[in-house]
Amino acid sequence: MIIGESGSGKTTILKCIVGLNDIDAGEVLFDGRNFYNLDFNGKKEIRKEIGMLFQGGALFDSKTVEENVVFPISMFTDLSVSEKRDRANFCLQRVNLENANHLYPSELSGGMKKRVAIARAIAVQPKYLFCDEPNSGLDPKTSIVIDNLIKEITEEYNITTMVITHDMNSVIEIGDHILFIYKGEKWWEGDKKEILKTDNKEVCDFVYATKFMKELKTKF
Amino acid sequence: MNIFFHFGRYFILIKRAFARPEKFSIYVDRIFEEIYILGIGSLGIVAIISIFMGAVITIQTAFNFESPLLPFYAVGVAVRDSMILEFSPAIVSLILAGKVGSSIASEIGTMRVTEQIDALEIMGINSSGYLIFPKIIASVFFNPILIIFSMFLGIAGGYAIGVMSGVVSSHQFIYGITYDFRPFNVIYALIKSGVFAFIIASVPAYHGYYTNGGALEVGRSSTKGVVYSSVLILAFDLILTKLLLT
């Protein structure tokens, strides 16, 4: 999980990792394969192993929910129409989204869009799942649903998931290995127990920014 | 420098758009989809403009025939040649640059700012190929059909208004449109419309693809796409006319 203030460079790091932004220095390794040393086809092969949940969902406006989920399956498999539909329905059921197959993204709520995006991301069974602020614009209850869904899918499919967030509820709920980014640099690294006990000033300012968290700190 | 930057980036984008498709059958479906959206969807506007253009050329030509030495069938000749040589390929293409070009630039621009293009790239799909290639092929294939359709309707519009208003008789007009007909003029018009179709699809697609920002920038990309494609159509109209007719 990568956390940090707005503008600290979280999304930029994510975009560098998935190859949407070029890097100035360093390397990005996917199971030992240096992404930026690969040619166009090599990068394409790695990207087929990546599922990504964008901040706004990035669903294709012109396609229905089912078509959105079927799209990557159609692109990269030779399954029959009914097999593709079955796989899409399985993924949609997995994210608890039934009877929405024929709706368009404009007809969906924010939480439903995120769930469709997750279903699309897992449709071709990725090895890596990247989530850019999965809770942005969602109410606390829906945020928890999305967080739990990401956690369940990560464990169920045994995939590596990276979540970018500035939501401390998510950090406490599903955070495993946490990286704090400050002014574009890695500032702190640890797990969720350590982050609550750290005396790093910048991390504390971020974690205990709300009155509720400050009160929680004094109580415990 | 700026113009070279845009030229370079445009050609790189077009080269990528013509790279080998991930799945040919999906691209074929996309081409038919685009033919329907960009081509069939433009039939109405092309029909209206062509009929009115043909009608106006007929009335204007007849109005300017002051000399009794000029035969009235020349109205038919003027309508035919004006429609085939210039009005159908160039003016209709300019109209299509406005209608189709703005639609392409805003569609691709919106996909860019809402991260849909990023989503395609992450899936390992060549986004420029998936989005731009079918539009170019659909345009280059279907625009010449639209132009032929426009030629027929323009001449028919001219005939209808000429005969109805009495400025030229039916016999004179039909004699005029068949008089000294050169089939090469149609080939010249089709070559022009093919080149214009490529410009209409690719230039707005380029501006849409490299949109940065939000809704305001999508609007700007759309305007740029229409303006640059219109200017390029006029420039290539001159170049192709010089190359093919002189």
Q: Measured between CA atoms, how close is A76 to chain B, in angstroms?
A: 8
Distance from CA of A60 to the nearest CA of B (A): 6
| Beta pairing class for A178-182 and A185-190 | antiparallel
Q: Does B212 touch chain A (CB under 8 A)?
A: no
What tokens does A137 get?
A: 């614009």
Is B22 a member of any domain? no
Indicate the number of domains in chain B.
Answer: 1
CB-based contact A50 B122, cutoff 8 Å: yes
Which of A48, A52, A76 has the CB atom closest to B119's CB atom?
A52
Confidence of residue B50 (pLDDT cuts 50, 70, 90): very high
Question: Residue B10 is encoded by which pair of tokens?
Answer: 């445009």
Whether B7 is in a domain gets the answer yes
Mark yes or no for CB contact B124/A52 under 8 Å: no
Chain A residues with beta carbon closer than 8 angstroms to that of B135: none
Q: Are B49 and B156 in contact (CB under 8 A)?
A: no
Residue B110: inside a domain, yes or no? yes
Residues on chain B touching A15 (C-beta within 8 angstroms): 118
Chain B residues with CB-CB distance to A59 below 8 A: 116
- Tell whether B33 is covered by a domain: yes
Q: Give B216 to chain A, closest Cα distance, Å.
A: 18
Low-confidence winner among B67-76, B105-114, B198-207 (lowest mean pLDDT): B67-76
Does residue B106 surpass a pLDDT of 90? Answer: yes
Contact A48 B22 (CB under 8 A): no
Nearest to B111 by CA among B7, B210, B224: B210
Is residue A213 within 8 A of residue A36, CB to CB? The reply is: no
B12 has a chain A CB within 8 A of its CB: no
The confidence score (pLDDT) of residue B243 equals 94
Q: Is the pLDDT of residue B178 over 80?
A: yes
Chain B contacts of A47, Cβ < 8 Å?
Answer: 121-124
Of residues A42 and B240, more confidently modeled: B240
Contact A61 B110 (CB under 8 A): yes
CA distance linking residue B202 with residue B236, whole number of Å: 14
Contacts of A60 in chain B (CB under 8 A): 111, 116, 119
CB–CB contact A47 B23 (8 Å) = no
Q: Which residues pair with A182 in a beta bridge?
A: A185
Residues of A at the B interface (Cβ-Cβ below 8 Å)?
A: 15, 18-20, 44-48, 50, 52, 54-56, 58-61, 71-72, 74-76
Q: Looking at the complex, does the CB of residue B29 fall below 8 Å from at least one CB of chain A?
A: no
CATH fold label, A2-190 = Rossmann fold (3.40.50)
Tallying the residues shown for chain A, one arrives at 220
Please indicate whether residue A219 or residue B202 has the higher confidence score (pLDDT). B202
- pLDDT on residue B107: 96
Report CA-CA distances (Å) from B170 to A167, B64, B127, B151, B163.
78, 19, 54, 18, 6
The pLDDT-based confidence of B1 (bands split at 50, 70, 90) is: low
| Partner residue facing A20 (CB), from B22, B114, B118 | B118
Q: Does residue B155 lie within any of the structural domains? A: yes
- Residue ranges making up the domain that contains B105: 2-17+27-245
For testing contact with chain A, the best of B108, B115, B128, B131 (most A CBs within 10 A): B115
- Supply the ipTM of this predicted assembly: 0.85
Name chain A contacts of B115, Cβ cutoff 8 Å.
54-56, 58
Q: Is residue B182 domain-resident?
A: yes
Residue whose tokens read 């080939």: B187
- Please report, in tens digits, the pLDDT of each residue of chain A (220 residues total): 999 888 888 989 999 999 888 899 999 999 999 999 998 888 888 888 999 999 888 999 999 999 999 999 998 888 899 999 999 998 998 888 888 899 999 999 888 998 899 999 988 889 999 999 888 888 888 888 888 888 988 998 899 999 998 888 888 888 889 999 998 888 999 888 888 888 888 888 888 887 777 777 776 6
What is the predicted pLDDT for the residue at A82? Answer: 92
B124 touches chain A (CB under 8 A): yes
In A, which residues are within 8 Å of B119 by CB distance? 52, 54, 58, 60
Rounded Cα distance, B30 and A8, in Å: 40
Q: Which residues of A59-87 are buried (b: 16+ CB within 10 A; e: fewer)?
A: bbeeebbbbbbbbbbbbbeeeeeeebbeb
